Amino acid sequence: MNGHIEIIPAIDIIDSKCVRLSQGDYNAKTVYDASPVDMVKRFADHGFTRIHAVDLDGAKAGHPCNLRVLEQLASASADARIEWGGGIKTDDDMRDCVNAGCAFAVIGSVAAKQPELFDNWLMRYGNGMMLLGADLRDGKVAVSGWLGDTDITLDNIVQRFLPAGLTQAIVTDISRDGMLQGPAFSLYTEIQSRYPEVDFTVSGGISSLGDVERCAELGLRRVIVGKALYEGHVTLKELQRLC
């Protein structure tokens, strides 16, 4: 193991329940027994304090829909800091999420479609809180819960926000998300070396402990683990040992 890597467990939420989608398809949905709050407590008990949570209802509706759940997650453990995304489109949405306890906000559609607003949020809330969420389909950024496409490339969008102080981005390869086929390692190593000032999070495709170890060996800095945890391909204990 060459590098230290931050492991971020994920919770996807529909109707206040934990779910996972395959390739972002709302019809290809698995609902899990554990409640989101229970999952946060479990993650925090194993030492994982940064937790990625996605309001999938919000991503689809275009405004946050699970703010009550966010409040519960933020207060579930004194150690947990919630990284929240899904449907944050307006100043009011952003303020509501902050008030509900989100520690980090993941912004995708607004960054792609209203870049000045994201500039504004980077300045107002700080680059320690704001993350660019770049979800890629065939190399182009997808928006609106992956239901819409754009002509924007990853380079376009990262370069657009570097002058505004961007330091964090989550890049998801939609084709691999929820498929347990391994992440697009070359995509992440390429962008991490091209933009060393940005901490990129690997998102989509982690299928095993080996995938996480490989990310660390390649010098990648952060990785989101979702479906592999829920399906038992990797355990929190195993991940804990890596940290």
For the annotated catalytic residues, the residue numbers are 12, 135
* Residue 26 CB coordination number (10 Å): 15
Q: For residue 64, how far is the Cα from the chain centroid?
A: 15
Q: Which residues contact 127 (CB under 8 A, 6 or more apart)?
A: 165, 166, 167, 168
| Cβ atoms 20, 227 nearer than 8 A | yes
Output the DSSP codes for 142-189. EETTTTEEEEEEHHHHHHHHTTTT--EEEEEEGGGTTS-S---HHHHH
Q: Distance between CA 7 and CA 212 in Å, rounded?
A: 8
